[in-house]
């Protein structure tokens, strides 16, 4: 039996929402980088690369936070459902 509190579910939902927003931002930054003309200046290329990298790093941090939250929820459920060993 998995018991999830409303608070933990709301926290997970908020993290997932932030992750999805970060994923979209990363995709937009990647598309902007890809749209640069072949003769773009070094400054434009560097800025586009930095924007994409920053967006991707933020997305990855949120993905890890979502995974940690899921793992913590699963661990708390496991701790509640695991009984101590029976002595003979």
pLDDT the model gives residue 73:
85
pLDDT in tens, 41-86: 999 999 999 999 999 999 999 999 999 999 888 887 666 655 555 5
Name every residue whose Cβ is closer than 8 Å to that of residue 26 and which is 6 or more positions away in sequence: 52, 55, 56, 58, 59
Does the global pTM surpass 0.75? yes
pLDDT the model gives residue 42:
96
pLDDT the model gives residue 65:
97
pLDDT in tens, 10-46: 999 999 999 999 999 999 999 999 999 999 999 999 9
Residue spans of alpha helices (H) in 1-88: 6-34, 42-81
């Amino acid at each position: 039996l998995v018991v999830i509190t409303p608070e933990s579910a709301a926290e997970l939902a908020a993290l997932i929402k932030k992750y999805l927003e970060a994923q979209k931002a990363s995709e937009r930054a990647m598309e902007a980088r890809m749209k640069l003309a072949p003769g773009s200046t070094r400054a434009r290329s560097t800025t586009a690369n930095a924007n994409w990298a920053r967006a991707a790093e933020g997305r990855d941090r949120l993905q890890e936070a979502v995974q940690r939250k899921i793992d913590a929820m699963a661990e708390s459920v496991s701790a509640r459902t695991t009984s101590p060993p029976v002595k003979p």
